[in-house]
Chains A and B, each alone.
Chain A
């Protein structure tokens, strides 16, 4: 019998349904955190795509910031009010910039790749901080939005439509990335990680593949930034393009691991809740708490949160093989 959904896709579907229904279950204060985790999870998903080639960018705050600023500028100067159009503009600009920068960045590997991205994001930070017309360190704010023409009567920013909008966009991206990873092109990237020169001799155009994944991750990160602005309503350079934010993304990416596409979302949900509780319980030492969790995670969970799913799968397979005997 042909299965309709395989194991990975069914996990994605379960997570989607449970997050959608959590609007009716979870308390109000936590819904905002869930949405924020979705926005950051998209950036981390982009980092996952890069990490499958063994590359880590210490500067994806660049695209996060770019997406956010594109939305804010389009809203304030071009008077675009629809969330969907705003997202499309952010995708276009994020894709354009990551395509152009990809030509520079694709030469680098390892620590130089990370540092080159760090430099690029700090350049953007420097530009925005020093340009008064872009709001300098204060950033931009946006007011109420429409969703496909629908306008909420409520004054609050997070209502049922915007919540479903953010969650759906996130899961569409996760689904597309999972399709990409399973395709032959997506599997090529793992070969590049294992041995670049061999992959090259086998006929894979390595720099083109790296350029592709850089483009994908840039688009995902700018989408995350755009959603963040739609959710929060404000964007500042300090919270998006500065290297500490990029470090946070890498932190979540390392904790999530590259085994499963849903792991970035779960990792960033975990991270946002940990941060919220740490801020609440230890207001003076929340950074320390996060640092300790990071180090413990690296030492004791070396393959990331995603490896938990593989463990479940192994148990399931073991169970099934026992049954067939």
Chain B
């Protein structure tokens, strides 16, 4: 039983870092803007599609210069997120700030429906398999079994993202201002912080992380219509069980859910779909505001 333990840990780390890359953007946007963005799933899918398309296009034209594949990951993420974040924030979300949280969720749900069809129009319905970047790095032997290097690099990427966030929020001026905006955006704006500018940049950052998650995981999956539908509920589970608005919470939530899912896959494969939400339900029953969530002060 215990000889598969290293693989459980490795698999769960890979899965958790995949989840964290997507969920961190979601939780960031919620923390600052109080918008639970369902369209995040579409951003993930857009990132994955644009990465797949770029890789396919590049592989046809240039045989050499293969390191370019890795440049495409951030490139496609920036490209997609710049266009889409401006589109979503400036045109749609501006109109509904201040309404009920659920109404804003519904607006992003509408955007999600729109993007689902847009993707089919732009990229078609056939599947893309941008496997080249993953194959190129090859395998390494871990405890006698080959493991794909690319997957391990995903863990590094997720850790990098978390460290960056942690340092920016803890040690820079922008981070301090951001905490003020998170705490109370009205007071913050009366103190002279340009809150709407913060909203734009935060939304861009969150979208970038979603697209980055999509682009980085595109070589590991087959990019088909509907990838966004599956990922967004998983990301919700991670974000809610970690505590809405907490980056560290998203990391811990992703690790927990990744671990339990991998254990379930190794020992009780029947439970795979069930376990993610079961873990979430258990966490919420024990701690209703999530692991790192702050308790809301109710006003009389």
- Contact A198–B102 (Cβ < 8 Å): no
Set of chain B residues within 8 Å of A299, measured between Cβ atoms: 95-96
* Pick from A104, A127, A195, A198: contact of B274, CB under 8 Å: A127
| B274 close to A126 (CB less than 8 A) | yes
Chain B residue contacts of A104, Cβ below 8 A = 281, 285
B109–A294 touching, CB < 8 Å:
yes
Assembled-state Cα–Cα distance A129/B117 (Å): 26
Interface residues of A in 99-122 (CB under 8 A from B): 104, 107-108, 110-112, 114-116, 118-120, 122
Q: Is the CB of A112 within 8 A of B288?
A: yes
* B273 contacts chain A at the CB level, 8 A cutoff: yes
A294 with B106: CB separation less than 8 A:
yes
Does B201 reach chain A (CB closer than 8 Å)?
Answer: no
Please indicate the chain A residues that have their CB under 8 angstroms from the CB of B277 in the complex.
Answer: 118-120, 122-123, 126
**Contact mask for chain A residues 282-325; partner B; CB cutoff 8 A; 1 contact, 0 none:** 00111110111011001100100000000000000000000000
A141 within 8 A of B: no
Chain B interface residue count: which class?
Answer: 35 or more
A271 CB, nearest partner CB in chain B, Å: 13
Whether, in the assembled complex, B271 has its beta carbon less than 8 Å from a beta carbon of chain A, the answer is yes
In the assembly, what is the distance between CA of A147 and CA of B237, in Å?
Answer: 43
Contacts of A288 in B (CB 8 A): 113-114, 116-118
Give the contacting residue for A250; candidates B106, B111, B117, B275; CB below 8 A: B106
Question: With A116-B284, A130-B274 known to touch, is A287 a contact of B103 (CB < 8 Å)?
Answer: no
Contact with A along B258-300 (1 / 0, CB 8 A): 0000000000001111111110110011001110000000111
A285 near B298 (CB under 8 angstroms)?
Answer: no
**Beta-carbon contact of A122 and B233 below 8 Å:** yes
CA of A279 to CA of B219, assembled, Å: 33
Number of chain A residues whose Cβ lies closer than 8 Å to a Cβ of chain B:
45
- Residues in A with CB closer than 8 Å to B101 are 110-111
Q: Which residue of A lies closest to B298 (CB)?
A: A197
Instruction: State A118–B299 Cα separation when bound (angstroms).
Output: 27
The reply to whether B274 and A295 form a contact with Cβ atoms under 8 Å apart is: no
Give the residues in chain B near A131, CB-CB below 8 Å: 270
**Given A116-B281, A116-B284, A294 contacting B121 (CB threshold 8 A):** no
User: Is A88 engaged at the interface, CB distance under 8 Å to the other chain?
Assistant: no
- CB pair A295–B273 under 8 Å, yes or no, is no
Residue pair B284, A108 in contact (C-beta under 8 Å): yes
A243 adjacent to B110 (CB under 8 Å): no
Shortest A77–chain B CB gap in Å is 21
7 A-B Cβ contacts within 8 A? A110-B101, A112-B284, A112-B288, A112-B290, A243-B233, A251-B106, A298-B107
Closest 8 A/B residue pairs (Cβ): A291-B113, A126-B273, A126-B274, A294-B110, A288-B117, A291-B114, A119-B277, A291-B110
B-to-A contact residues, CB < 8 Å: 36, 38, 92, 95-96, 99, 101-103, 105-107, 109-114, 116-118, 120-121, 229, 233, 236-237, 240, 244, 270-278, 280-281, 284-285, 288-290, 298-300
